[in-house]
Structure 1
Amino acid sequence: MFWIFDPLQELQEKIPRVLFYCTSINNSSKIYTFLVAEVPSSVQYIELFHSETEEMKKKYIVKELKNCDSPLRVVISTSALGMGMDAKAFHNVILFGAQTNCSDFIQEIGRDNMPSVALILYNGYHERVADIDIKKIMLTKEYVIPHL
């Protein structure tokens, strides 16, 4: 995760927007805590969203995701954020743990019909529980999903 520390520290509100999708609340909380601890000067640019996030905070995050000029730069989330969410100008997606099926995968990386960069960070457990199509994506160095 050190590759995100320097840009967060140096660019802060100018860092390209990044969505982290995690397969569990536990993992999303750990990543959030880790980033905030390592780059405390960037705490106002990072948010955590999952099913147990308080409602007022959820509304704030959703509103900021729709605003291209928002200072919010990094959102760490579970799939609770993804369904039907129209996040603007998020073309960098990090999947911490591979999704188990292609429809979830496409939902999480497809943003505003613009090209996106998706980085999948996974381990052997994630690979074992993924379906065959996701395994093919994991084993491919570059995978292009056509516009839907």
Structure 2
Amino acid sequence: MSPEYLLTDLQWRDNIQSPVFQANLVALVIDEAHCVTKWGKAFRTEFANLGEVCSLVPEGVKVMSLTATATIKTRKAICKSVGLINPVIISESPHKPNIKYIVQVNPPPIEETFAPLIEEVRRYRQLTDRAIIFCRTYDSMTHIYLYFKNRLGKEILNPMSAPDMAQFRLIDMFSACTQPDVKEEIIRSFSIPNSQLRVVIATIAFGMGIDCSNVRRIMHWGASDDVEQYLQESGRAGRDHLLAHAILYHKVPDVVTRDLSEDMKEYCINKSVCRRTMLFKKFNGYTEHLYAGNELCQCCDICECVCMCAKCSF
């Protein structure tokens, strides 16, 4: 149930306050709780007012907030906004040892950057490794999708004789402006490991609720607004625990001019510190020993340069 329904729909407020509802309510659970601080400040202010819901439920009803990515600072903000007093906190680092982090500064043009993926789709078709390309703007998403579509032509469909409809596409795009029926088909198809859809080019609208176990690459064309958002999006890779890659392409002027968090700026311009450390240092539960025992070449592009494993020393 959305915060908008809970806080602005009079019928729902009446239902919550009805004797039957009050007598049978067991708990109030807020999923994706990081949205309380992220979205509440921007375009869905009801998220910032979820604490009001707590005042509508009977005293003694348990309240639980869940999120996969919250720094210590964000966690405190969630507790304050929702009205959690002396909460029991169960936390674990969002660190995933099977994701290799790579940053490419001032990448070549789209045509050159994504040419290898084009060839991969041509060669392997519906066996192509799953990938998501996150774009910061609708224009860049459309530009990249049209490049794929123009280069592949009928090869973007499977079979190639099929009509240009979502259920036959190997590559598709997803944004807030995508037609509802197409959105449903993309989400449905991408949630099935061996379905037709292999690559989704998307804005941040392709986010929560997407669960696909075999995504091998998350590619960001432009930096996320902050580290938490980047981990939310890159964390969609490697849910099958096999090696996956999170690749960030960004241009230096964009990092300087965009309103990015300081942590995200540091991650983008960093040239010497392990990228995993840069990403997870402000999350509870992460220490560098968590990656101990794994090959450094599979950690990040910086650690790869100093890896002395048998494969790298050969």
Residue type of the partner of 2:214? Answer: A
TM-score, length-scaled by structure 1: 0.89
Task: Quote the residue 2:245 is aligned against.
Answer: 117
1:36-75 matches, within 5 Å, as 36-40=149-153, 41-43=155-157, 44-75=169-200
Residue type of the partner of 1:28? Answer: M
1:1-148 matches, within 5 Å, as 1-40=114-153, 41-43=155-157, 44-111=169-236, 112=239, 114=241, 115-128=243-256, 129=258, 130-140=260-270, 143-144=275-276
Q: How many residues align?
A: 148
- What is the DSSP-based 3-state SS (H/G/I as helix, E as strand, rest coil) of the residue aligned with 1:67? coil
User: Which stretch of structure 1 is more off in the superposition, 64-73 or 118-127?
Assistant: 118-127
- What is the DSSP-based 3-state SS (H/G/I as helix, E as strand, rest coil) of the residue aligned with 2:255? helix
Greater Rg over alpha carbons, structure: 2
CA contact (8 A) 1:137 1:143 kept: yes
Residue type of the partner of 2:254? Answer: H
**C-alpha displacement of 1:66:** 1.0
Query: For each residue in 1:70-122, what CA deviation from the matched residue of structure 2 results, as whole angstroms up to 9, or x when unmatched?
Result: 11000000000112322331130000111110111011000237353111111
CA contact (8 A) 1:65 1:88 kept: no
* Structure 1 residue runs without a partner (length 5+): none
Among all aligned residue pairs of Structure 1 and Structure 2, give the percentage whose two residues are the same amino acid: 21
Cα distance between partner residues in 1 of 2:146 and 2:250: 19
Task: Quote the residue 2:74 is aligned against.
Answer: none
Cα distance between partner residues in 2 of 1:90 and 1:140: 26
- What is the DSSP-based 3-state SS (H/G/I as helix, E as strand, rest coil) of the residue aligned with 2:197? coil
- What is the DSSP-based 3-state SS (H/G/I as helix, E as strand, rest coil) of the residue aligned with 2:247? strand
TM-score, length-scaled by structure 2: 0.44
Task: Quote the residue 2:9 is aligned against.
Answer: none
* Structure 2 residue runs without a partner (length 5+): 1-113, 158-168, 287-314
Q: Assess, with a 3 A threshold, how the Cα gap between structure 1 residues 113 and 136 changes in structure 2: closer, same or farther.
A: farther
The structure with higher relative contact order (CA 8 Å, sep 6+) is 1
Task: Quote the residue 2:32 is aligned against.
Answer: none
Q: Assess, with a 3 A threshold, how the Cα gap between structure 1 residues 45 and 83 changes in structure 2: closer, same or farther.
A: same
